[in-house]
Amino acid sequence: MKAITVSDILIATKGTLIRGNKTQRITDVCIDSKSIPSEATLFIPLKGERVDAHKFIDNAIENGAIGCIVSDLLKVPENVQIVIEVADTKKALQDIGAYYRKTRDIKLVGVTGSVGKTTTRELTAAALMAIGRENVYQTLGNRNSQTGVPLTLCDIADEKLGVIELGISEEGEMDILTEMAELDAAIITVIGVAHIQQLKSQENICREKMAITKGLKADGCILINGDDQFQRDYRSKLNHKSYLYGTAEDCDFRATDIKQQADGMSFNFHAEGKVYEAYIPIMGMHNVVNATAALGAACVLGVDVNEAIKSIADFKGVKMRQQILEKNGFTVIDDSYNANPDSMKAGLKVLADYELKTCGRKIALLADMKELGDDEVHYHEEIGGFAAGMPIDMLLTVGTLAESIGKICRTKNKSIITIHFDDNAQASEYLNTKLKAGDILYVKGSRSMALDEVVKALK
């Protein structure tokens, strides 16, 4: 964060200065009392359903914070130098993020969607870094929420281009995020069924994701997935300039001649009437589509296409998102960060298309997919049917819901060996005794299933 003053904070939040000097410089805002980044930090305690962080103000001050923004003055210790009172601390954080964003001369791309947000964000950042790594900002970690986005915005310094991730799980949430961000361009990845429990239908999910345009600047643009019919159907309702990306013939940014290589994907990238040879060092047709979005964003922001293509060729991938790990003679595709039906199908396709170096086996370890609402069993059975059509050797499952994946697969394709485990410990023990040199193991499940524990336990 470039330094602003207490006076700026008061303007942004419409808060009341209870204690302190309006000219005091502030270099950080923070919501974690244990991680105070600098002496000129304001701690903002949030009130959650279970915990009111006002009780951690003492800790924040002990750890170096200069002051706090609060909604409960009774919980403020006497030794706090700066105290600002507001009605709602979460809203104050968002107001600061929005205010600070207006002070930054940066062109921002926002990425949202049901599947592939983080990988697309990282690919987009890689493409933009053709102008120099030091000139590009991107969301750190998974800070894509109502509290994460304002913290992300406050991290921007003097970068020229940036990409941020916007995640939603409830109606109206995107309005808050996008209006803070004031985007120059937006990317929608795929409209799937993630968070369908809260949003009820894919049509509703599409509408909420498309609300990202509410925060687009008047001359901004949106890149929508031309391979996604939900987005195509919604396109006529958009007021901003829109581009299609993907593999369909009418896409403005298109991938053709897609080939899976030993360690990545090669393809031809079509843009503005020209064709370019491109390569990404990650697997999967879906990631090629993500790459066309990233390169498309680079194009609309004026980045040289050839340089952007060179830049994404050095992409390192994202931890626990189809991360390829070489173990003791066998290979693991660690895709354990999270899961929904669309991403699980895409991952199984990557496993199916993977070229074995020796005569090993293709093995999938799948766990429950959460937040799928009343149709959760149906979605797991659907994965079972999909897996049955894949050229894999074994399907291992963990979790009550995932058990139905194996049952359906076994019913439809008896040549695939299916085994169910009660927990990750059982799965780890089995794999450590059965995996052989040349095997490839694909690992996928919702975050709460913690399949990364299995990956770490593999010897």
Please report, in tens digits, the pLDDT of each residue of the chain (459 residues total). 999 999 999 999 999 999 999 999 999 999 999 999 999 999 999 999 899 999 999 999 999 999 999 999 999 999 999 999 999 999 999 999 999 999 999 999 999 999 999 999 999 999 999 999 999 999 988 899 999 999 999 999 999 999 999 999 889 999 999 999 999 999 999 998 887 888 889 999 999 999 999 999 999 999 999 999 999 999 999 999 999 999 999 999 999 999 998 789 999 999 999 999 999 999 999 999 999 999 999 999 999 999 999 999 999 889 999 899 999 899 999 999 999 999 999 999 999 999 887 889 999 999 999 989 999 999 999 999 999 999 999 999 999 999 999 999 999 999 999 999 999 999 999 999 999 999 999 999 999 999 999 999 998
Domain 104-312: give its CATH code. Answer: 3.40.1190.10
Rounded to whole angstroms, the Cα distance separating 288 from 259 reads: 10
Please name the fold of domain 4-89.
3.40.1390
Rounded to whole angstroms, the Cα distance separating 17 from 15 reads: 7
Burial class for 424, CB neighbours closer than 10 Å (0-12, 13-18, 19+): buried
Domain 323-457 CATH superfamily: Mur ligase, C-terminal domain (3.90.190.20)
Give the DSSP letter of residue 195.
T
Rg over alpha carbons for the chain, rounded to the nearest Å, is 24
Sign of CA dihedral 299, 284, 425, 357: negative
Report the C-alpha dihedral over residues 112, 350, 263, 270, rounded to 10 degrees: -50
Burial class for 180, CB neighbours closer than 10 Å (0-12, 13-18, 19+): buried
Report the C-alpha dihedral over residues 429, 442, 126, 110, rounded to 10 degrees: -100
Residues 6+ apart with CB under 8 A from 80: 19, 57, 61, 67, 68
Q: Which residues on neighbouring strands pair with residue 320, listed in sequence order?
A: none
Return the closest-CA partner of residue 187 out of 95, 123, 269, 142: 123
Rounded to whole angstroms, the Cα distance separating 400 from 416 reads: 20
Sign of CA dihedral 342, 348, 352, 354: positive
- CATH 3.40.1190.10 range(s) for the chain read 104-312
With beta carbons less than 8 A apart as the criterion, state whether 431 and 365 touch: yes
If one counts every other C-beta atom within 10 angstroms of the C-beta of residue 381, the result is: 18
> Position 132: which residue type?
G
- CATH 3.40.1390.10 range(s) for the chain read 4-89
**Residue in the structure block whose two tokens are 């990202």:** 212
Give the DSSP letter of residue 401.
T
- CATH 3.90.190.20 range(s) for the chain read 323-457
- Indicate the pTM of the whole model: 0.91
One-letter-per-residue 3-state SS of 358-379:
CCCCEEEEEECCCCCHHHHHHH
The alpha helices in 211-279, defined as continuous H runs, are: 229-234
Vertex 171: Cα angle to 168 and 175 (nearest 5): 70
Distances (CA, A) of 427 to 143, 148, 337, 403, 432: 31, 34, 17, 13, 9
Which H/E stretch holds residue 103? none
**Residue in the structure block whose two tokens are 């298309």:** 353
